[in-house]
Structure 1
Amino acid sequence: MKKSKLSQITVRRRARSSGEELPERPPAKQQRYPGILFAYGAYPTKLRVNIYSKSHVIGYVAAALKGTDAMDTLMASQFRGMFQLPVVRCQNSTKLIGCLLSRQHVTARRHEFWFTFGPDPLRFSLDEFRDVTGLKCGAFDVKDSEASESVPPTMWNKLFDTAVGKLTVLSVLHMLGNEYLAVEKRLPLALIALVDGVLCPSNKDLKLTPRYVEMLSDVKSFLAYPWGRELFLTTVPRFLPPLVV
């Protein structure tokens, strides 16, 4: 039976277009990727994910600073993206996170991760982190990298009436909710709440980090600091399995 002219044209077009559009690479099963961290079927079970970051802090800060110059400053800075996050839909899935972490490839680059995700690996690096968060991820300034942890608590004493290390992000949010709070304190307090409550929390109680508080002595420098890199480098070690002694 003779094929119609239309069907012959269709077959030729499909063959030509498929040859031009498909990428020239072997099937996924034949590709050679680096080894994986855990053998197939030997993934860890009963995973527990400790997430100290509290997204509701963003809403509290936005409500406390609504209509103020401090809020305008935040929206014109690298922190703008935080207030554009759909916080209600930002749910944490322990099962999904555990699945990705268990399927890591063993790669050479220190600050880059590859996960098995479907037929192709998925990369997580500083580039993707910057694109998603909008935070600055450039290199640290020499002065920042050489800053001492034991600096005098000058800024802490200006902002708070308590001893160093005794305050939490919740205390700062209560201060921001006070309508009689001095105007010059609003922006610094909002910044430390965002950094220690959302970006770089180091403990479940969200205690303030004295070094970050002292950085507020220069708000302009604080706003220009590469918080994306700070957060990324804080997060990376937590992607690795614990050391076995």
Structure 2
Amino acid sequence: MEMPELPRRIYTLGEEPPAVHSIPYHTCWTLHTALKKTLHDDEYEELKESKLGVFIKFQELGFDWASRLVHYMLGFQPDIKKKYEVWSLIGPEPVRFSLLEFENLTDLNCEYMEDLERPHSAVTKELTSFWEMLGVHVEAGPSTQEIIATLDRCEGWSRDDRKRLAYLAIFTGYIEGRKYSTPTRVSLARLVMELERFENYPWGRQSPYTANSTARVIISNRKLYPGYNPFAPIDNKKLKELADWLKTCP
């Protein structure tokens, strides 16, 4: 079977620009340690087996953010216009990483929904009270730093409130992955007041793919080159480098 004609690469082979901007993602063992210390054994196991437990399982497996691998994937992209797909060339072979693969790996909900970034949640007395317990302004989403501090003083909370706190720990530390002191998106954090809604929200369409639409910002596009032969001979040196990276990266 003949390989179909592929789109041109964004950058010519050997002329991929360096990452002049950082590709940040912040997660920490401190949050995981605090979460495991605070939750009772049955609560922790329930969290691991929940629909968001994949983040805890990945943390325990030692998975981490790999900027070099991401930079490789972005630098070797064919010019694909689909928002929720990343294609990268390994030698002449195109490899796709899309929502389908991501959903298969994580079991996270990746279904389409309108108003994904700004779902509506009413500011109820229950929500206001819970935000006061967190020590967070009702118009702000909690930061990882605030969640870690709250984990030290939630022993007397109800089981549902402790579960909400655990879900917010996953949200701030793994889904948002911002700097520890940076507030998260309040419209998404508020979903935790409805536990079932929070569990079933399409988190698979959140942080892993927002970077795809801004790839040309992360990797400077000051130098664009006219094309590249996708059937060029395989660069064994680059393949070995990629294989070495894959051994140490999820």
Offset from partner CA, 1:2-44 (integer Å, 9 cap, x none): xxxxxxxxxxxxxxxxxxxxxx336xxxx63210111223211
Residue segments in structure 2 that go unaligned for 5+ positions in a row? 223-250
Match of 1:180 in 2: 155
Runs of 4+ in 1 over 4 A off after TM superposition: 142-146, 242-245
- Residues 144 and 43 (structure 1), Cα distance of their counterparts in 2 relative to 1, 3 Å cut: closer
Number of residues of Structure 1 aligned to a counterpart in Structure 2: 215
- Identify the match of residue 205 of structure 1 among 181, 187, 190: 181
What TM-score do you get using the length of structure 1 for normalisation?
0.72
* Secondary structure, counterpart of 1:79 in structure 2: coil
Contact 1:168 1:205 in 2 (8 A): yes
* Alignment partners' CA distance in 2, 1:87 and 1:37: 36
Q: Structure 2: how far apart are the matches of 1:232 and 1:241?
A: 16
Aligned partner of 1:17 in structure 2 is none
Measured after TM superposition, the shift of residue 173 of structure 1 is 1.8
Contact in 2 for aligned 1:153/1:214 (Cα 8 Å): no
User: What is the distance in 1 between the residues matched to 2:177 and 2:66?
Assistant: 19
Shift of 1:195: 0.9
1:37-116 maps to which residues of 2 (within 5 A)? Answer: 37-56=10-29, 57-68=31-42, 70-85=43-58, 87=60, 89-116=62-89
* Residue of 212, 219, 230 corresponding to 1:236: 212
Contact 2:145 2:180 in 1 (8 A): no
User: Structure 2-normalised TM-score?
Assistant: 0.71
Greater relative CO (CA pairs within 8 A, separation 6+):
2
In 2: Cα distance, 1:127 partner to 1:166 partner: 29
1:120 maps to 93
Amino acid corresponding to residue 97 of structure 1 in structure 2: V
Q: How far apart, in 2, do the equivalents of 1:52 and 1:162 lie?
A: 23
Residue in structure 2 matched with residue 214 of structure 1 by the alignment: 190
| Higher-Rg member (1/2) | 1
Change in CA separation of 1:153 and 1:206 when aligned onto 2, cut-off 3 Å: farther
Q: What letter corresponds to residue 239 of structure 1 in structure 2?
A: A
- Alpha-carbon separation, structure 1, partners of 2:142 and 2:116: 24
Contact 2:175–2:207, Cα closer than 8 Å, also in 1: yes
Unpaired segments of 5 or more residues in structure 1? 1-23
Q: Residues 184-213 of structure 1: CA distance to partner in whole angstroms, max 9, x if unpaired?
A: 421111111111211123556342332123
Candidates 143, 168, 174, aligned match of 1:168: 143
Query: Alpha carbon RMSD of aligned pairs, Å?
Result: 3.1
- Aligned residue type for 1:119: P
